[in-house]
Amino acid sequence: MAFYIDVIISLPLEKLFTYKVSSNESALLKPGMRVAVPFGKQKLYTGVVHSIHQNAPKAYEAKEIDQIIDESPTVAPTQLAHWFWLSEYYMCTIGEVMKAALPSAFLLESETVITKSGTFTADETTLNDGEWLVFEALSHQPVLKVHDVMGIVNRKNVLPLLKKLLEKGFIHIKEEVVERYRPKMVTYVKLQPEYTSEETLKQLLDELQRAPKQREVLMHLFMLEASLKRPIKQKELEEKSGATPTTINVLAEKGILQKYTQQIDRVGAYNKETEPVKTLTHSQQEALDAIKEGFAHQMVMLLHGVTSSGKTEVYATLIEKYIEKGKQVLFLLPEIALTTQLISRLQNYFGHKVSVYHSKYSTNERVEVYNNVLSGAAKAQVIIGARSALLLPFINLGLVVVDEEHEPSYKQFDPAPRYHARDAAIVLAKMHNAKVLLGSATPSLESYYNAKSGKYGLINLHNRYGKALLPEVELVDLKEKNRKKLMKGHFSDRLLEEIEIAIQKKEQIILFQNRRGYAPIVECLSCGHSPQCPNCDVSLTLHQQKQQLRCHYCGYNTPVKPTCMACGNASLDTKGFGTEQVEEELHKLFEGVSVARMDSDATIGKHGYEKIIDSFESGEVSVLVGTQMLTKGLDFKNVSLVGVMNADTLLNIPDFRSHERAFQLVQQVSGRAGRAEKRGKVIVQTYNPYHQILQQASLNKYQEMYLEQLEQRRIYKYPPYYRLIKITFKNKDFNKVNEAALWFQKALSIQFNALSDVEILGPEFPPVARIKNQYLKNILVKVPVNIQVQEVKLLLKKIGNSFNTIANYRSVKCIFNVDNY
């Protein structure tokens, strides 16, 4: 009887693929195990086993698998079910979900291996120069890889050359699966057992009188063992004794020292003593009791707590209860920058049980955290991470905490799967029968609506921790200040006055400007020309420190020229300002005051965020300038003043959520001020101080903002009353994108005739209509909540399949983005 397996392959293909296995292999295999399978003419890919059965495929003859990679499943059963939900709900392929979920080291790829043939069918004189170089190299080493051949012949396209060598019978070519994860091995040293007694040791030291370097190594080994009371690494011994590896090798050869290697985790363990979770205040304890009570009959609870109300302590106390039950806890954060502070706080409470998972970790580090979660290891009982941590293989998940749940960073925009981590986390928790706690000072309208309508439980935490008061918010009219000539650069006299006071009192200041770089536009005053990105429809942003003009969409950059690129005049000026310019102005206005900048340009590298946050926390830096990563839950005790440089840039974004997000950003950045006993101050600079949203944010009127925005959403048909699906068309050809989008829109109109309540907007070009030389055009489908969204998705997929069969539009990429906000 023949056995077959259905396999998921990490390619953007809709269906599973069936492969043939022997009866012995079928007995070994389980769903979730990885196998290497041939796909296409010669390539080998990693596949994940979905099911084992005896039904042969009808459309094609099943190939045999190449090899079984795992001894036990790498993908947990619930994780596999979650993959299929992500694929179905967010309208992407299961292969794309697999690629996002597994660390890249698990997605083994085949490498083409070239070996010398034993028999020759032609004379060596028939080889040209390039072929001869490859043949000669194979005479000296038995195996070559494709990149080796590229180096030998000094060119990139070597496939025609290899093809000719293959036809002439000089080489064999085969595919070999390469494992990319390398465990970290550490070499330790210890004294051989026969020298552990006092007598033999004394004798040994006497014998080494003539070898002072070797004797010194031994003396340092005894000292390290006595002080550290743990195995000693060879590198530690070399550093302390000043010895070379040769000296230690000689001692090992003499049989005095014993060397041995051990595999260790790259993710370091927490070695300090843990401390108990802080005693909660009366209001925190009330909130915690209400959450526990709510979890008895609700799966999801929303904790609406003002900034600095001590939500983290509530989370920590709740996490402690689930750890005691032996459950895994997932703590999601919107920004990697936030993990820096939170890790140290949670590690103080839970020590080595805390693991971190995010994109700044190396591939090997991510593999180790992944394996620890899969095995249910104690060191990975609490996982802190950004949205990708959601895709880990939890086997015993008890609680999911989504901090700052309103943050747009939880939405993955590119590549697929374009999931929202908060929503996907709720589904994952449901699959594990776990609980979800959403927390925010400014909840998203959708979550607050769900809480108000009874879908989620709602807990309010109105008081700040300790005796801290909410900051005093002052709106400064920039129009008036400019008219009265009270501006210095981009600083109003009020903001400068408050900065001066804070510096004199040795307090710290945060300044928020939601643009990085020096200036978004460089303009010639003679001809009006401003440098544009050759690949995107945007102006190049000036980055003064690197003397570059840079595109924030595709990364294109060019050196700054002293004259206009169009007319050659030197009359260049900048429009707008970014964090770099704010930092430069501060240095000029307050000489000797230490200023740091925190944006994606300044936080390159794994520990970029950590260094800046640590230096600000320790008081080395007085003023911190940054973009919106500053607004997300960071806790600095000595910050008394927060300045919003220009609030209008938040309000004038062409997005239905711009007012809600402006409110959230102003409230969140204000929350960084006055987190200790002293009341903080917030200065918001704006050209429109009477704008309804800024007035509501300055007076902390969340409820008023919520009701007003909800009514707007109802009138204009937006969430939570309607579901949104955005369809984007991408191609290098402007006319092709236009035609394709128009064809799709007509097909939608015909198909949705029966569903009259479904609204179709577009096709329209977005504000930036060309990115990376690809033109974009969007169609927005609005689905009322009383219509099954699954029905709409099936119709969209049906139209999408028809669209892909049209030869003229095959090169146009059609992307579905469900809940695109």
Would you place residue 124 in the very low, low, confident or very high pLDDT band (cuts 50, 70, 90)? low
Spatial distance between the Cα atoms of 795 and 67, rounded to a whole number of angstroms: 39
The conformation of residue 680, written as its DSSP 8-state character, comes to P
φ, ψ of residue 188 to 5 degrees: the values are -110, 160
Characterize 502-520 residue by residue with b for buried, 16 or more Cβ atoms within 10 angstroms of its Cβ, and e for exposed.
Answer: bbeeebbbbbbbbbbbbbb
The percentage of the chain sitting over the pLDDT mark of 70, rounded to a whole number, equals 92
CATH architecture observed for domain 722-818: 2-Layer Sandwich (3.30)
Alpha helices in 375-444 (DSSP H): 421-432
Residue 126 half-sphere exposure toward CB, CA atoms < 13 A: 10
The percentage of the chain sitting over the pLDDT mark of 90, rounded to a whole number, equals 43
Question: What CA–CA distances, in Å, run from 763 to 305, 753, 772, 781?
Answer: 41, 18, 20, 10
Q: What average pLDDT score do residues 684-704 get?
A: 92
Question: What CA–CA distances, in Å, run from 674 to 304, 308, 423, 541, 682?
Answer: 20, 9, 33, 34, 9
Q: Which helix (H) or strand (E) holds 356?
A: strand 354-357
Instruction: Give the pLDDT score at 233.
Output: 85
Question: What CA–CA distances, in Å, run from 708 to 441, 455, 543, 622, 723?
Answer: 18, 21, 39, 39, 20
Q: What average pLDDT score do residues 211-222 get?
A: 83
Interhelix angle 129-140/146-153, nearest 10 degrees: 120
729 CB-near residues (< 8 Å, 6+ apart): 737, 740, 741, 744, 763, 776, 777, 778, 812, 813, 814, 815
- pTM for the model stands at 0.82
Would you place residue 696 in the very low, low, confident or very high pLDDT band (cuts 50, 70, 90)? very high
Q: What average pLDDT score do residues 614-633 get?
A: 81
771 CB-near residues (< 8 Å, 6+ apart): 535, 536, 537, 553, 554
Lowest mean pLDDT among 409-418, 585-594, 600-609, 772-781: 600-609
Instruction: Give the pLDDT score at 121.
Output: 46
CA-based torsion, 553, 556, 558, 563: positive or negative? negative
Instruction: Give the pLDDT score at 478.
Output: 92
Q: Which helix (H) or strand (E) holds 734?
A: helix 734-751
Class assignment of domain 110-178? Answer: mainly alpha
pLDDT at 480 over 50: yes
The conformation of residue 707, written as its DSSP 8-state character, comes to H
Q: What average pLDDT score do residues 467-478 get?
A: 83
Would you place residue 190 in the very low, low, confident or very high pLDDT band (cuts 50, 70, 90)? confident
Spatial distance between the Cα atoms of 232 and 221, rounded to a whole number of angstroms: 8
Spatial distance between the Cα atoms of 64 and 147, rounded to a whole number of angstroms: 28
Instruction: Give the pLDDT score at 273.
Output: 58
Instruction: Give the pLDDT score at 735.
Output: 94
Q: Which residue has the tokens 């056995």?
A: 3
378 CB-near residues (< 8 Å, 6+ apart): 352, 353
User: Could you check whether 282-304+316-457 and 472-515+587-711 share the same CATH topology?
Assistant: yes
Domain ranges of the chain: 3-108, 110-178, 193-255, 282-304+316-457, 472-515+587-711, 519-576, 722-818
pLDDT at 222 over 90: no
pLDDT at 777 over 70: yes
- Which CATH entry fits the domain spanning 3-108: 3.40.1530.20, 3.40.190.10, 3.40.50.150, 3.40.1440.60? 3.40.1440.60
Q: What average pLDDT score do residues 560-576 get?
A: 87
Burial of 761 (0-12, 13-18, 19+ CB in 10 A): middle
Amino acid at 316: A
Lowest mean pLDDT among 326-330, 493-497, 753-757: 753-757
Would you place residue 274 in the very low, low, confident or very high pLDDT band (cuts 50, 70, 90)? low
pLDDT at 156 over 70: no
658: closest CA among 685, 694, 682? 694
Spatial distance between the Cα atoms of 203 and 205, rounded to a whole number of angstroms: 6
198 CB-near residues (< 8 Å, 6+ apart): none
The conformation of residue 389, written as its DSSP 8-state character, comes to G
Residues in the chain, total: 821
Alpha helices in 38-185 (DSSP H): 77-89, 94-101, 129-140, 146-153, 159-167
CATH superfamily label, 472-515+587-711: P-loop containing nucleotide triphosphate hydrolases (3.40.50.300)
pLDDT at 743 over 50: yes
Characterize 764-801 residue by residue with b for buried, 16 or more Cβ atoms within 10 angstroms of its Cβ, and e for exposed.
Answer: ebeeebbbeebbbbbbbbbbeeeeebeebbebbeebbe
Amino acid at 196: T
Instruction: Give the pLDDT score at 541.
Output: 93
Would you place residue 122 in the very low, low, confident or very high pLDDT band (cuts 50, 70, 90)? very low
Lowest mean pLDDT among 304-308, 483-487, 745-749: 304-308
CATH superfamily label, 282-304+316-457: P-loop containing nucleotide triphosphate hydrolases (3.40.50.300)
590: closest CA among 495, 471, 474, 478? 495
Q: Is residue 388 helix, strand or coil?
A: helix
pLDDT digits (tens, 9 = 90+) for 626-670: 887 776 666 777 888 999 999 988 888 888 999 999 999 888 888
Instruction: Give the pLDDT score at 417.
Output: 93
Q: What average pLDDT score do residues 530-549 get?
A: 91
